[in-house]
Amino acid sequence: MRLHAVDLRKLKINDPFWSKHVNLVEETIIPYQWRAMNDLIPDAEPSHCLDNFAIAAGKKSGGFYGAVFQDTDIAKWLEAVGFSLAAHEDKELEKTADRAIDLIAAAQQEDGYLDTYFIIKAPERKWENLCEGHELYTAGHMMEAAVAYYQGTGKKRFLDVVEKLADLLCETFGPEEGKLHGYPGHQEVEVGLIKLYRATGKRKYLDLAKYFIDARGVGENYFLKEMKRPGYQNITPELLDYRPEYSQSDRPVREQTAAEGHAVRAVYMYTAMAELAYEYQDQELMDACVRIWDNIVKKQMYITGGIGASGILERFTTDYDLPNDCNYSESCASIGLAMFGIRMANITRDASYIDTVERALYNTVLAGIALDGRSFFYVNPLEVWPDNCMERTSKEHVKPVRQKWFGVACCPPNIARTFASLGQYVYSAGEGELYVNLFISNQAEVDLGKAAVEVSIETRFPFEHVIHITVGKVPEDGMKLAVRIPDYARDYKVSFAGEPVNCQVEKGYAVLTLKEDAALTVSFDAPARFVRANPNVRADCGKVAVTKGPLVYCLEEIDNGKNLSELYADTKQEIEESASELFGGITELIFRGKRIEESAWDNGELYGEHPLSLTDVTLKAVPYAYWNNRGMGEMSVWMKELV
C-alpha cells in the first residue's frame, strides 16, 4: 500500500522559516489574484477571466479575451482557496469563492462542456485542436480545484460541476469506437481525473486517466493528424511545424527513457504516470517513472531543483546541458517535479525522492516569489547580469527582477497552491505508519487507518538541525515512525528524553516503533559546504557552489560588489556560518576568496596580455531562495574555484 498525504484541515503549520511564505497566500496572493481576475488592478494587463465566464453564462455580452487557457486562472485560485480554507476558516473568502463557483456552474453547458474560449469563440471547433486548445488541461485544473475546495470546505457544488465535465470526457474520449482517440496537448487532466477518482471513488475517471497515458505516443501522432484535417486552425504560432517530443507524444510513455520536451507538460505527465503505475500495479510504467526520474535528477536538474534548460520552448534539452545564465527553469516545472517526487516517495517509501522534492521547494519554488508576495519569477536563472537581460535578445526570457502578475499567469497561482498545500509534503501516512519527510514546525492529527495520532514538529530548520517530534494518541498495538535522514545530514542522532537510541535505517528513513506517546529529538549536522557538479556539466566545470542543508546559496552584487565573474572561492578555507537578521533571519555564509584585479585594464583595451592578478576578498553568500529581495544586481550560484 502506498502512503498518502495528510488531511490539510488537520494540520497547522507554524514554522519560523516557512510561515512567512505560507501566510502570503492568504494575506496577499489570494486577494491580489481575485482583483487581477476581475480587472481591478490599475496598470496590470487585463485578465477578463471572470468576464469570460459571465459571457459564456449569458450574463454579460462581449467576446472572449485572454489566453486559450485563461479559465485556469480561476481554477488555480479556487484550488489555493480550497487549501487555504482547510487551514483557516474565512467566511468572507468562502462566500466570494462560492459566487465564483456559481458563475462557473452557470457557464457550463448542458452536456457538461466547460471551456469559455471554445464556448464563446469557437463552439464549432470543440475537441478539434487538442494539441493547442488546452481544453483538457483546463478541465484538469478545474478538477484539482474542485477536489481541493471540496476537501477544504466539505461543499460539493464545484465537485458536481467537474464530475459532469469528467463524465463528458468519459463519453468523448476512449479506446471504444465512436470516441475520440486523442490525448491532451498539455498534460494535466490525468492528475485531475486521478484526484477526482480519489474524491468520488468513481473508477471510470481513473480509467480515463490511464487511457490518456496509454494512448499517448502510440501509432500515428494524434496532433499531427489533427493538423492534417481540413479546417484545422493553428492557435499558437510557435507551435507551427510541431514536433511531438515537445509534448512527450513521440513514443509510448513506457518506452521513454529520458525527460524531454516542455518541462511542465513532462512533469505533470510523470506525476500521473506514477499514480497510475501504483493504481494498476503496472511495473512497466513504474520502471519508466524510475528511469525518467533518474535521468532528471542525475543529468538534467540544476542544483536548485530547476528543470528545463532551454529558454526557447521551455524545455529539457540533453544530458548535462545546464547553462546558468540563459536557462528557463520555470517555477511551475519545479513544482511539478515536487509533485512527481512526493508520489514516487509515497509509493516506494524511499527518502531519496524527498531529497529532490526538498531541493525544489527550498530553492527554485521559494525563489519564485518575493518576500512580500507581490512579484514572481517565472524563469529561474542561476547567474544573472542585469545589463544583458535585454528584450529582443537571446536572454529576453531571463528577468533580473521579479515580475508583477501577468495577464497570463501560470507560476504565481501555482506557487500559491503549493504553499497552501505544503502540509501534504511534510508527512506521509500509511496503515499504522507515519513518515516525516520535511522538517517544518506544525501540529497535526494524522489518520493512520485504524487510529489517528497527534503529532507535532518543532524546529528552526533549515538553519538549525534539531527537530523535536512529539507523537500522542499512539495506538495500543503501536505504530511505525519513520523520520527522513536527508542526504546532506552528518552524525544523525535520535534521542528520547535525552537518551540516544539506535534505529534501523530503511531507504533513507530512520525507523522507530512507538508503543506509547513519545517525545523524541532528531538532530544532525548540516554544515555549510562547497559542492561541485559532475564534470560533464560543462557550465559548472572548475566551479563550486555553497550549500547548507537543503539551501543552495548565491552571491549577490549588494554583498560582493560588481562583476561576480571576477571572484574565486578558496575552498581550502573554512566557511563561516553567521547569524543575520536579513530576510527575517538567516544564516549567512562567509568565506575567503580572490578577485581578479581590473586595474591593468584601465586603458579600456578589450584584449591584451596583462597577467592575471588576484587580490584577497571575503565573500558572503545568502540563500538563493531570497535573491533579488534587495534591489536589482548581479547574482551567481556557481563560483570559480581557486586551484
Rounded CA separation 347/1 (Å): 8
Out of 299, 399, 417, 484, the residue judged to bind its own copies by CB under 8 A: 299
Sign of CA dihedral 306, 311, 314, 320: negative
Residues 580, 341: Cα–Cα separation, whole Å: 32
In sign, the C-alpha dihedral spanning 537, 344, 334, 223 is: positive
| Beta-sheet strands, E only, within 328-484 | 383-384, 427-430, 433-436, 442-447, 452-459, 466-472, 479-484
Per CB under 8 A, the list member of 9, 186, 395, 402 interacting with its own copies is: 395
Task: Using the Cα atoms of residue 83, residue 89, residue 94 and residue 96 in order, give the sign of their dihedral.
Answer: negative
* Nearest by Cα to 482 from 460, 459, 455: 455
Q: Which residues are catalytic?
A: 314, 410
- Among residues 516, 601, 615, 618, the one that binds its own copies under rule CB under 8 A: 601
Nearest to 311 by CA among 366, 372, 238, 202: 238
Cα–Cα distance measured from residue 316 to residue 296, given in angstroms and rounded to the nearest whole number? 9
Of 175 and 611, which has the nearer Cβ to its own copies? 611
Name the phi and psi angles at 291, rounded to 5.
Answer: -60, -45
3-state secondary structure of 514: strand
Residue type at 374 in one-letter notation: R
Least separation in angstroms between residue 329's CB and its own copies is: 12
Identify which range of 80-88, 170-178, 369-377, 607-615 contacts its own copies by CB under 8 A. Answer: 607-615
Enter the DSSP assignment of 151.
Answer: H
Q: What is d(CA 62, CA 54) in angstroms, rounded to the nearest whole number?
A: 9
Q: Is residue 41 close enough to count as binding its own copies by CB under 8 A?
A: no
Return the residues of window 238-267 that contact its own copies according to CB under 8 A. 243, 246
Distance CA 193, CA 204 (A): 9
From residue 406 to residue 425, what is the string marking binding to its own copies with x (rule CB under 8 A)?
A: --------------------
Distance CA 31, CA 23 (A): 12
Q: How far is the CB of 392 from its own copies (least distance, A)?
A: 5
Binding flag, residue 237, its own copies (CB under 8 A): yes
Minimum distance from residue 205 beta carbon to its own copies (Å): 34
Candidate segments 24-32, 52-60, 192-200, 530-538, binder of its own copies by CB under 8 A: 530-538
Residue 477 touching its own copies (CB under 8 A): no
The answer to whether 592 contacts its own copies (rule: CB under 8 A) is no
Asked if 308 and 330 touch (Cβ cutoff 8 Å), the reply is: yes
Residue placing its CB nearer to its own copies in the complex, 7 or 641: 641
Q: Is residue 459 classed as helix, strand or coil in its secondary structure?
A: strand
Count of residues of this chain found to bind its own copies when the rule CB under 8 A is applied: 70
For residues 467 and 544, which CB has a smaller minimum distance to its own copies in the complex?
544
Task: Please work out, in degrees rounded to the nearest 5, the angle formed at the alpha carbon of residue 633 by the alpha carbons of 583 and 578.
Answer: 35
Out of 542, 579, 585, 615, which residue is the one contacting its own copies (CB under 8 A)? 542
Matching residue, cell 488546452: 134
Task: Single out the residue of 49, 86, 266, 297 in contact with its own copies (rule: CB under 8 A).
Answer: 297
C-beta of 74 vs 344, nearer to its own copies: 344
Rounded to the nearest whole angstrom, what is the least distance from the CB of residue 169 to its own copies in the complex? 30
- Per-residue binding string, its own copies, 75-114, x by CB under 8 A, is ----------------------------------------
- Name which of 283 and 599 has its Cβ closer to its own copies: 599
Residue 491 interacts with its own copies (CB under 8 A)?
Answer: no
Instruction: Check binding of 234 to its own copies (CB under 8 A).
Output: no
Of 176, 177, 387, 477, which lies in the binding site for its own copies, with binding defined by CB under 8 A? Answer: 387
Q: Is the CB of 42 or the CB of 604 nearer to its own copies?
A: 604
The residues near 71 (Cβ < 8 Å, ≥ 6 apart) are: 49, 52, 53, 114, 115, 116, 117, 138, 141, 142
Binding mask 609-628 for its own copies (x = CB under 8 A): xxxx-x--------------
- Phi then psi for residue 530, to 5 deg, are -90, 130
| Binding segment toward its own copies, per CB under 8 A, in 111-119, 312-320, 336-344, 511-519 | 312-320
What backbone phi and psi angles, to 5 degrees, belong to 93?
-60, -40
Residue type, 386: P
Stretch that binds its own copies, among 81-89, 102-110, 507-515, 559-567 (CB under 8 A): 559-567
* Residue in 135, 163, 330, 566 binding its own copies, rule: CB under 8 A: 566
- The residue count for the chain: 643
Task: Give the end-to-end CA distance of the chain in Å, rounded to a whole number.
Answer: 51
Minimum Å distance from CB 380 to its own copies? Answer: 15
- Out of 284, 396, 517, 574, name the contact with its own copies by CB under 8 A: 396
Beta bridge partners of 635: 384, 556
Residues 417, 403: Cα–Cα separation, whole Å: 19
- Which grid coordinates are listed for 292? 525518467
Which of 54, 529, 583, 630 is close enough to bind its own copies by CB under 8 A? Answer: 529
Please report, as residue ranges, which positions from 314 to 333 form the binding site for its own copies (by CB under 8 A): 315, 317-321, 323, 325-326
Q: Is 642 in the site for its own copies (CB under 8 A)?
A: yes
Residue closer to its own copies, measured from CB, 246 or 278: 246
The minimum distance between CB 404 and its own copies, in angstroms, equals 20
Does 535 interact with its own copies (rule: CB under 8 A)?
Answer: yes
| CB atoms inside a 10 Å sphere around CB 189 | 31
Residue 591 neighbours by CB distance under 10 Å: 21
Binding region for its own copies (CB under 8 A)? 237, 243, 246, 297-299, 301, 303, 309-313, 315, 317-321, 323, 325-326, 385, 387-388, 390-396, 529-539, 541-542, 545, 563-566, 568, 571, 594, 596, 598, 601, 604-612, 614, 640-643
